[in-house]
Chains A and B, each alone.
Chain A
Amino acid sequence: MSQSKIKFDKKIVLSFWIILIALIIAAPTILPVFRLNLLGRYLSLSIVALGVDLIWGYTGLLSLGQGIFFALGGYCAAMYLQITSSSEFPNNIPEFFALYGVEKLPFFWEPFRSPAFTFFAIWIIPALVAGLIGFLVFRNRIKGVYFSILTQASLLVFFNFFNGQQKLINGTNGLKTDVTQLFGQMVGSESMQRIFFWVTAILVIGAWFFAKWVVKGRFGNILIGIRDDEPRVRFTGYNPVIFKTIIFSIAGGLAGISGALYTVQSGIVSPQFMTVPFSIEMVIWVAVGGRGTLLGAIMGAVFINYAKSLVSEALPASWMFIQGGLFILVVTALPEGVLGWIQGDGPRNLLQRFGLKRKIETYPSLEINNEAKK
């Protein structure tokens, strides 16, 4: 029985990938530009959700400050785009500086003239900031709700700083990217957006495989160990501080990539990326999709955001209620999230309740798991 089941699973996996790749290639021709752009944005959000799943679903660190790293990635990308497209403006610096009487480019903009630097900065800067914040917090053994509050406080600090610095990064107005140039093309143009969509789709798959690689094997088991019983991990001879710092840093890097992709597809990065509700939403996507499933985080991010835009078009102002209701439903009825529920015994239990499926007499693991039968 198990042999044929494995083969069956393989077929499902293979057809899943064929359909997925076909959809990604075909999407730009099927979907209108507006919808394609939305899908691309939501796919980029799924990368930050993957990071949230790594730190929260696997390691038990509920961060409410992922917006920091998301925005940092976005700012890195936007600064590069602005500076390479500023040759026509006064002093050859981005246009907004003129509004505040700034004539000389602030020093930290300089490295962003280099595309290579920017390419690395997009993920390394958020990863370093996350690593630093994480190390200080974890070394002092701050955890649980105190960790969550601290990350949210850091988010507010970053928000207020970015919001107030007109002369450095255009403050509350943010940096626009859609009218900038990349490789001689307008970033906001249709052909560029199509390329960004494909880049995003590839990076989502890449990030997914990367996350799977991180959590598989003994490293991932230690993360789960830290989530379930951190002192026990210590007494076994592991230093949880290092493991937590690494995974928080990885999540920060993923958030940066996500923020950069989101920025170029939405046309602007602003301190709005660092508001409290947005970072909480990231957690909701993962909670609804399914903690500790990775795929659930991706699906949660894409579906909830797509639902958000559809509902907002049909019934403006009602989305917040629906989102809140969804979160309450998941917390009370499906604590493992939708994918966690499906992977568990959820569907079978539901069918049994309506008498549609035979009840099993012993523990499910004894009937299904051949190993246990021995």
Chain B
Amino acid sequence: MNNKNLLNLIDITVSFEGFLALNKLNLNLNKGELRAVIGPNGAGKTTFLDVITGKVKPTKGEVIFKGKSLIGRNEHKIARLGVGRKFQSPRIFENLTVKENLEISVTTPKSPLNLINKNIKDEQLDEIERLMKIVNLSQKVNLKAGSLSHGQKQWLEIAMLVGQKPDLMLVDEPVAGLTDEETDLTADLLKSLSGENTVVVIDHDMEFIRRLDSNVSVLNQGTVLCEGTMETIQKDKKVIDVYLGRPED
């Protein structure tokens, strides 16, 4: 482990009544890195995110984020430390407007007293405006988030994630159900976010992963099978066997 590492997962094992969802998983992330995580269904991709965000407590192992252990911390404390998460299906607050959704994400401090007593700060309003421009929702500020299209919801959730200003962004299947054009835009957006932020993207869509042009970790049966660039893993015999199948051409 060195100073450049933002996150270290060390020998993480998660056992659900004997079933090993994660089995001695090791993974290190550098600051500013964009990392794609792929794997067949049941490989443990979502459990992997659950462990980092505190939703699932690992049976064994250690999670080190910015030099601090995350084990035993509550979800909201981990979020405040700088871990943000976007869920598989868009999880936004459908009964609130686009702007209200973003207000929830950019507000700091996130204490009841601050929320009930004070108005939102000007710089936070500016940030909301900036985010809405990035994800093309400026026209829909006061619409209920529930009335947005699927793609717009995905983007709103990404904007909420960015608004949280996390050091580590965990993005679970951001392009599920998006059109090709939207997928391309999302890939560009995520690429532009890395560098300043550290981004982990989980997805099935090979075209999308290729477009991200990042290091890829392949999960299988709860452990990291292989790591490297897209080219390296596509040539890896084990990966081909469990996941990719024979090359198309």
Contacts and interface: CB of A to CB of B under 8 A. Distances in A.
Interface of A: 214, 217-219, 221-222, 224-225, 228-229, 231-240, 242-243, 246, 363, 365, 369, 371-372, 374
Given A231-B75, A236-B110, 10 more contacts: A217-B115, A225-B104, A232-B87, A235-B76, A236-B79, A239-B76, A239-B110, A242-B112, A243-B112, A371-B141
A228 B94 contact: yes
Interface stretch (B32-40, B95-103, B192-200): B95-103
Interface in B178-194: none
B53 interface: yes
9 contacts: A224-B96, A232-B91, A232-B92, A234-B75, A234-B76, A234-B79, A235-B85, A365-B147, A371-B140
Contacts of B141: 371
B115 A218 contact: yes
Contacts of A243: 112
Nearest to A292: B95
A229 B157 CA distance: 14
A321 B100 CA distance: 43
B96 A237 contact: no
B74 to A, nearest CB: 7
A218 B85 CA distance: 21
B139 A374 contact: yes
B83 to A, nearest CB: 9
Given A228-B94, A231-B75, A371-B143, A236 B116 contact: no
Interface string B85-125: 10100011111100010011101001110011001100000
A214 B105 CA distance: 19
A372 B143 contact: yes
A238 B113 CA distance: 12
B222 to A, nearest CB: 23
Most B CB within 10 A of own CB, among A218, A235, A240, A371 = A235
A357 to B, nearest CB: 22
5 pairs of A and B residues whose beta carbons are closest in the complex: A237-B79, A234-B75, A219-B116, A219-B115, A218-B115
A232 B100 CA distance: 14
Given A231-B55, A365-B143, A217 B116 contact: yes
A232 B79 CA distance: 11
B142 interface: yes
Contacts of A236: 76, 79, 104-105, 110, 160, 164
A233 B93 CA distance: 9
B80 interface: yes
Contacts of A234: 74-76, 79
A221 B96 contact: yes
A123 B112 CA distance: 21
Contacts of A235: 53, 75-76, 79, 84-85
Interface of B: 53, 55, 74-76, 79-80, 84-85, 87, 91-96, 100, 103-105, 107, 110-112, 115-116, 119-120, 139-143, 147, 160, 164
Most A CB within 10 A of own CB, among B92, B115, B140 = B115
A52 to B, nearest CB: 19
A218 B53 contact: no
Given A228-B95, A231-B55, A221 B104 contact: yes
B246 to A, nearest CB: 39
A229 B160 CA distance: 15
A224 to B, nearest CB: 6
A219 B112 contact: yes
B202 to A, nearest CB: 15
A214 B116 contact: yes
B93 A232 contact: yes
A233 B110 CA distance: 11
B113 to A, nearest CB: 9
Given A218-B107, A218-B120, A219-B112, A237 B80 contact: yes
A236 B104 CA distance: 8
B5 to A, nearest CB: 23
Contacts of B55: 231
Nearest to B157: A232
A306 B179 CA distance: 56
Contact of A237 (B76, B120, B140): B76
Contacts of A229: 91, 93
A312 B74 CA distance: 53
A374 B139 CA distance: 7
A233 B85 CA distance: 11
Contacts of A239: 74, 76, 110
Given A232-B87, A235-B79, A224 B115 contact: no
Contacts of A231: 55, 75
Contacts of A218: 100, 103-104, 107, 115, 120
Contacts of A237: 76, 79-80, 110, 164
Contacts of A219: 112, 115-116
B152 to A, nearest CB: 13
A238 B91 contact: no
Nearest to A232: B91
B75 A222 contact: no
A222 B142 contact: no
Contacts of B143: 365, 369, 371-372
